[in-house]
Structure 1
Amino acid sequence: MNQRTSDPFNVPKVRTDGLAQAIARFAQSDGDYATAISALSLHRRKRPTEPLHCIFSLGLGVVAQGHKQALIGTEVVNYGPGQSMLVSIDLPVISHVTGGSAEEPMLGLMLTLDSSQIAKTAAEMQLPDPPRAPAFTPITIETLDAAMVDVLVRLIELLDQPVLASQLAPLYQQEIVVRLLAGPHGPQLRHLAANGSPSQQIARAVAWLKQNFSKDMRVNELAAHAHMSPSTFRQHFRSITGTSPLQYQKQLRLQEARQLMLSLGVDAGIAAMQVGYESASQFSREYSRLFGAPPQQDVKRLRLQ
């Protein structure tokens, strides 16, 4: 298993106290907080958490205090204060908080990004094509700079100013995209925006799967839409997402079924049918394999957390 983490002695420190304070004002107890700015969510945990299967969407994750870890395929990614995590394509991951306490809880945020806005902004900035090396990496960890911390604080502070937020939030989000494209995360985003690049074609296939996960999926047809041979498509898909197209679809189905049972209270049989399973027993087996417990037991455990 590969570990990817920054050497704390070599990473230039940027103060994130102000960012932590801004998050803490709106996230005053443990939980995940959706905000009036639809792309922005805030997160707080006072202790390490159990590893959780989830889908990371295209976006920027920042930890202002504490530490987090994500497992993508066989690679372990660690990040903490002063670092940002850019997810360039929707990915199934196992994520958890590794550092947090009652005195210094983990405080973080997630800002989802718009791929069309990234492509448009990259074109307007007339940025060069990304270098062939290093290859596209779907998750990158980079050091925050003071200017990025500042715009993130300003974005959060808009939650106190709803009259201004509707006008200023899109401008601050645009500034964040510009800074990402011009900064160390830029080459990965430019891979995503480059017309005809394998990463862009796989991103489109992933977007189709997210919208159509309950339908029967034929890899050969997906490959044709991506203008790749089936073998090349499978190779690129696995290298970028860390899994096969079939396994990716399965994780999407099981994640959605879990959410239906947890949020809407539907039973396992109905959830299985709604996400595309014809066999309840197959659904239960695959659910248990992914989440470590049968559907009812898993949902009960989640509600007690």
Structure 2
Amino acid sequence: MTPEQRNRLVEQLEILLPDEGLYPSLSDGIELVRSNHVTSRQAIIYQPILYIVLQGSKQSYLGSECYRYDPLNFLALSVPLPMEGHVIEASPEKPYLAIKIGFTKEMILEMMVQVPAMQENVLANRGVCVSPLTERMEDALVRLIDALTDTNRASLLAPMVVKELIYYALLGPQGAQLAAFVTQGKYHERIAHVINYIQSHYADPLDIATLAGEASMSVSSLHQHFKSVTNVSPLQYIKQVRLHQAKELVSMPQGSISDAAYKVGYQSLSQFSREYKRMFGVPPSQSA
């Protein structure tokens, strides 16, 4: 992409995003992001997305691992993961600008039918990676952002361009990773199922035996493969999901610490407070 093309994309996004924040676009499943300042690390449960940076820089963290994405690089996330992230390069004169494109397992499977070779022998571990945009993805991105400036084009053309972006992502170096998490019969698909199960049942009593049964795997196999995808054990993942959800609850106006603890599955308020402080560095009372 030429500097002139990227400048035009930046200008279009600045028009679509006159203020800071995260905003829905004119097309379902696509959100636009603007920040005029660097931000502190925030905990969030990322859903499956292609996250493309147009200007500025961001870093995300999965446990001890750090993922940085700069202009015309994208973060591909194929399973829900509790991560932390913050903008590390932004200013009012040159704001951080990005686009978040959500996708589903069904969309990946549909595109895989059209991909001639899916790099079956490439090992896919983590459910997250950062890659540069290919030339064809850059071209599709230009057309996508242009479509988002008009209501009719956004509803008719944007979904087709999103499919095109996913198609080219599957053809790239991260393609095997994206495909692995939706391919029936591979352990990646089973781990993705367990992750989605935890997302829906985190407030319930959960143990490793129950999760192993959901995955049709042995306890030791589940533990090994789950950690290869998420960088944490299943029980650590459950704890992170619960604490991330609790952080949102206690941050709400009139949020009750005890209600938040019980709603996410904690039976002991003291244990909740202790683990909350260990994860976020402050007690829940300072997040309220």
Structure 2 length normalisation: TM-score? Answer: 0.90
Show the counterpart of 1:234: 223
Question: Partner residue of 2:66?
Answer: 76
Find the aligned partners of 2:160 and 2:66 in 1 and give their Cα distance.
Answer: 34
Q: Would the alpha carbon gap of residues 102 and 137 (structure 1) be closer, same or farther in structure 2, given more than 3 Å must change?
A: same
Segments of 4+ in structure 1 off by > 4 A? 12-15
The reply on whether 1:44 has 2:42 as its aligned counterpart is no
Q: Secondary structure at the match of 1:188?
A: helix
> What does the per-residue CA deviation read over 1:204-233, in whole Å, with 9 as the maximum and x for residues that have no partner?
110111111111112112112222210111
Describe the superposition over 1:95-137 as per-residue Cα deviations: whole angstroms up to 9, x where unpaired: 1111112221211121111112211321x21533433334333
- Cα deviations by residue, 1:268-297 (Å, 9 ceiling, x for unpaired): 122222222222222222222222222231
Structural mapping, 1:1-305, within 5 Å: 16-122=6-112, 124-263=113-252, 265-299=254-288
Does the aligned pair in 2 maintain the 1:56–1:93 contact within 8 Å? yes
Give the 3 Å change call, closer, same or farther, for CA 148–18 of structure 1 in structure 2.
Answer: farther
1:7 alignment counterpart: none
Q: Which runs of 5+ in 1 are unaligned?
A: 1-11, 300-305
Q: In the superposition, relative to structure 1, how do residues 223 and 252 fare at CA in structure 2: closer, same or farther (>3 Å)?
A: same
* Deviation of 1:71 (Å): 1.6
CA deviations on 1:240-261 (whole Å, 9 max, x unpaired) are: 1011111111111122222233
How many equivalent pairs are there?
Answer: 287
TM-score by length of 1: 0.86
Stretch deviating more after TM superposition (235-244 or 218-227): 218-227
Deviation at 1:13, TM superposition (A): 7.8
Seq. identity, %: 32
Measure how far apart 1:177 and its partner are: 1.7
Structure 2: state its 5+ residue gaps. none
Counterpart CA distance in 2 for 1:157 and 1:129 is: 30
Q: CA deviation at 1:264?
A: 5.8
Equivalent position SS for 1:125: coil
> 2-side partners of 1:129 and 1:110: how far apart?
25
SS at match of 1:116: helix
The answer as to whether partners of 1:130 and 1:191 remain within 8 angstroms in 2 is no
Q: Aligned to 2:181, what secondary structure does the other structure show?
A: helix
Q: Do the aligned partners of residues 296 and 23 (structure 1) sit closer, same or farther apart at CA in structure 2, a change above 3 Å counting? A: farther
Kindly indicate whether the alpha-carbon contact (under 8 Å) linking 1:16 and 1:149 is maintained by their aligned counterparts in 2. no
Aligned amino acid, residue 70 of structure 2: G
Q: Structure 1 residue 263: deviation in Å?
A: 4.2
8 A Cα contact 1:277 1:283, kept in partner: yes
Give the Cα–Cα distance (whole angstroms) in 2 for the partners of residues 34 and 253 of structure 1.
Answer: 26
The answer to whether the Cα contact below 8 Å between 2:82 and 2:244 also exists between their aligned partners in 1 is no
Greater Cα shift, 234-243 or 124-133: 124-133
Superposed CA RMSD in Å reads 2.2
Q: Partners of 2:183 and 2:48 in 1: how far apart? A: 16
| Change in CA separation of 1:265 and 1:62 when aligned onto 2, cut-off 3 Å | farther
Write the distance in 1 (CA, Å) between the matches of 2:27 and 2:200: 23
